[in-house]
Amino acid sequence: MRSFAEYEAEKWKWITAFDTSFYPDHFPEALKRYKPVIDRFRELASGAPHSIDLLRTIQKTGKKMRIQLLRVFRRYVSPSTSVEMLKRIKDTEEICSAFGPLFRDIKVVRKNISHQDYDLVISALLYEHKDRGQFGYELTARFFDWFERTFVGDEFQPLGPRRAGRDLQLRDFLRDYEHECPTDIIVTHQKWPIVAGFARYDSDRGGSQEDDRTGGNRSKILEILQHRTTEGAQVKVFFLNDGPGLLLGSMWRDYGELERINPDRVLVCTLKMLESRLTRKWLLKH
> 106, 128, 150 — which closes off a domain?
128
Q: What is the pLDDT of residue 132?
A: 67
* Full-model pTM: 0.79
CATH assignment of the domain containing 140: 3.40.1350
**Mean pLDDT of all residues in 160-180:** 90
Domain of 34, in residue numbers: 27-128
Share of residues in the chain with pLDDT > 90 (%): 73
Give the C-alpha separation, 243 to 272, whole Å: 11
Is residue 259 within 8 A of residue 11, CB to CB? The reply is no
E-strand stretches of 58-191? 156-159, 168-169, 182-183, 185-189
Residue 79 domain flag: yes
Report helix, strand or coil for 225.
Answer: helix
Say whether pLDDT at 73 is over 80. Answer: yes
Asked if 104 and 77 count as a contact pair (C-beta separation under 8 A), the reply is yes
**Model confidence pLDDT, tens digit, residues 198-254:** 999 988 764 445 555 667 899 999 999 998 866 667 899 999 999 999 998 889 999
Answer yes or no: is pLDDT of 258 > 70.
Answer: yes
48 and 166 inside one domain: no
Residue 195, beta-bridge partner list: 187, 236
pLDDT digits (tens, 9 = 90+) for 87-120: 999 999 999 999 999 999 999 999 999 998 899 9
